[in-house]
Amino acid sequence: MTPEQLSTAVRDVLTAAVDEGDLSLPDGVPAQVTVERPRNRDHGDYATNVALQLAKKAGTNPRALAELLAARLREAEGVEAVDIAGPGFLNITVSAAAQGELARTVVEAGESYGRGDALAGTTMNVEFISANPTGPLHLGHVRWAAVGDALARVLEAAGAAVTREFYINDRGGQMDKFGASIMARAHGEPVPEDGYHGEYVTDLAQAVVEENPGLLDRPRDEQLVVFRDEGYRLQLAEQQAQLDEFRTHFDVWYSERSLHENGRVEHALDVLRGQGHLFEADGALWMRTTDFGDDKDRVLRRSNGEYTYFAADAAYYVDKRERGFDVCVYLLGADHHGYIGRLKALAACAGDDPEKNIEIPIGQLVKIVQDGQELRLSKRAGTMLTLGQVVEAAGVDALRYSLCRYPADSPLTLDVAQITKQTSDNPVFYVQYAHARLASILRNAAELGVDKGELRPELLDHERESLLLAALAEFPRLVATAAELREPHRVARYLEETASTFHKFYDVCRVLPMGDEDATDVHRARLWLVEATKVVLANGLGLLGVVAPDRM
């Protein structure tokens, strides 16, 4: 029995009491009844304070309402005992058979266990990397590449339709400087002082020349266009390859330049003008964002006719909403904290609810330490540590898990030696090892000719079995909570606690027969529990984009 099923049972009891005239609830039976695990297991498997919440509306005292509900709830299938504590708390003990049945539920659900419909019907755009196509992705992008992807996975598991989006900052003077830098390297000339100086620029120059024979003989202005556009294409392809290797895949790669080329900026201004928040002053076009809490109004078009970056931001937001997204999530770095007010004001100027249609989580910086030294400089990148180098140093699994394990709004320092060592005090190893151990038990069972057979759930009545089942039962609610709060780190912490609960179970509960001992129904029931635990750990690691290995 899952907490959700027990919550439904409590609601059914409330509904029956109302229908039969034993209880009056003018506002009706609540849509949700909270059922939680008590800290002290002596108080039962689950507890609810529903009697305290509804007593006043029902015109009675909490204790009396608790007694009414307890009497009915004791008759519910799977409920073994109901006790009343304090002023009206209901402590509920579930029968071993009802609790053990969860093992079958999990195994039969497989990859779908933990997925829910809390966000069903919601379409979400999650933009979690915005970068120039003028060089490799760097350390500043690493955290969002892991956390943003994990957040998208969690939101999907909660039922949302999610589009992952990468915003390409491919407009402006930096693109011409990029092309000029590549062209200079191709001619063996010094790179312009304000250009790009990493060794990767030399590699790009060589590749562009090889793919375009005779390019160096053409007029310099024509060369610049080719070097710029081809360098863009090659560098963007490298960014995509790096992210694919990191298991971060985007559904949309959106070009900032396309907003201007396709008339989306002008269209957005027409939309915003229709909302009544644009005005002209000093020859420039402004948006009155101060109407919605911004610290100053924002210029959209300068007096010289040039559009500002904020005009592109406005066009991009309007475009997202017109593409049908209910919620636009912008995951931004610590240096973009000032964007929160202006983006929320932008949403309001567009006629949207800034508390509903746009979300702007801010992530803090991450440092990577190796051999006691912070990794900073990349000769190939010029001035940065690249995503590829960080992955090479730490590995995809260790890096993704470690980045997702902490709230994104907290500064983070990761030591390569700590996150890659294969010991139980390394969380990613601890969880992956638990999954590998579960897989090993199932392999050993197959070699012994012991299969799960038909589950007898009532045999899973040991305290350690009960605790492990309770942990597995919490997984769907944990996923829903992580999605609601936009906190994928909750999944990692849950996995560690569940792995610990499994190890404690395995220490005292013999799963496979010893020697010539015949397999019993208890062994078979525990195999069901082992497979269910393996399913949950695999599903949880999958939400973080981390491999669940069968062998280590």
Maximal CA-CA distance, the chain: 93
pLDDT in tens, 321-348: 999 999 999 999 888 888 999 999 999 9
What pLDDT sits at residue 334? 85
- Select from 113, 179, 92 the least CA-distant residue to 480: 113
480 three-class SS: helix
Residue 50 has which token pair? 């529903």
Cα(329)–Cα(350) distance, integer angstroms:
16
Amino acid letter, 245: E
Cα(493)–Cα(456) distance, integer angstroms:
31
Place of tokens 């937001």: 317
Summary mean pLDDT of the chain: 94
Q: What's the chain's Rg over C-alpha atoms?
A: 29
Contact present, 184 and 216 (Cβ < 8 Å): no
What pLDDT sits at residue 376? 67
Residue 314 has which token pair? 């406005």
Q: Count the Cβ atoms, other than its own, within 10 Å of residue 524.
A: 19
Q: Is the pLDDT of residue 380 over 70?
A: no
* CA quadruple 284, 288, 289, 293: dihedral sign: positive
For domain 3-94, give the CATH superfamily.
Arginyl tRNA synthetase N-terminal domain (3.30.1360.70)
- pTM listed for this prediction: 0.92
Residue 153 has which token pair? 């996975």
Choose between 455 and 369: higher pLDDT.
Answer: 455
Q: Count the Cβ atoms, other than its own, within 10 Å of residue 249.
A: 13
Residue 536 has which token pair? 């949950």
Mean pLDDT confidence for 37-59: 89
| Nearest-5° Cα angle at 400, 397 to 403 | 140
The DSSP result for 508-535, as a single string, is: HS--S--TTPPP-HHHHHHHHHHHHHHH
Contact present, 51 and 44 (Cβ < 8 Å): no
Mean pLDDT confidence for 280-290: 96
pLDDT in tens, 185-222: 999 999 999 999 888 999 999 999 999 999 999 999 99
Alpha helices in 74-172 (DSSP H): 96-109, 139-157
Question: Within the chain, how many helices (H) and strands (E) appear?
Answer: 20, 16
The pLDDT-based confidence of 379 (bands split at 50, 70, 90) is: very low
| Nearest-5° Cα angle at 460, 456 to 461 | 130
126 three-class SS: strand
pLDDT in tens, 423-478: 999 999 999 999 999 999 999 999 999 999 999 999 999 999 999 999 999 999 99
- Select from 196, 248, 229, 545 the least CA-distant residue to 388: 248
Cα(18)–Cα(100) distance, integer angstroms:
32
pLDDT in tens, 146-194: 999 999 999 999 999 999 999 999 998 899 999 999 999 999 999 999 9
Domain ranges in the chain are: 3-94, 423-544
Pairing of β 412-415 and β 362-363: unpaired
What pLDDT sits at residue 2? 83
Q: Is the pLDDT of residue 128 over 70?
A: yes
Contact present, 479 and 491 (Cβ < 8 Å): yes
Domain 423-544 fold? Isoleucyl-tRNA Synthetase; Domain 1 (1.10.730)
What pLDDT sits at residue 37? 86
pLDDT in tens, 345-362: 999 999 999 999 999 999
What pLDDT sits at residue 224? 96
What pLDDT sits at residue 384? 67
The answer to whether 3-94 and 423-544 have equal CATH topology is no
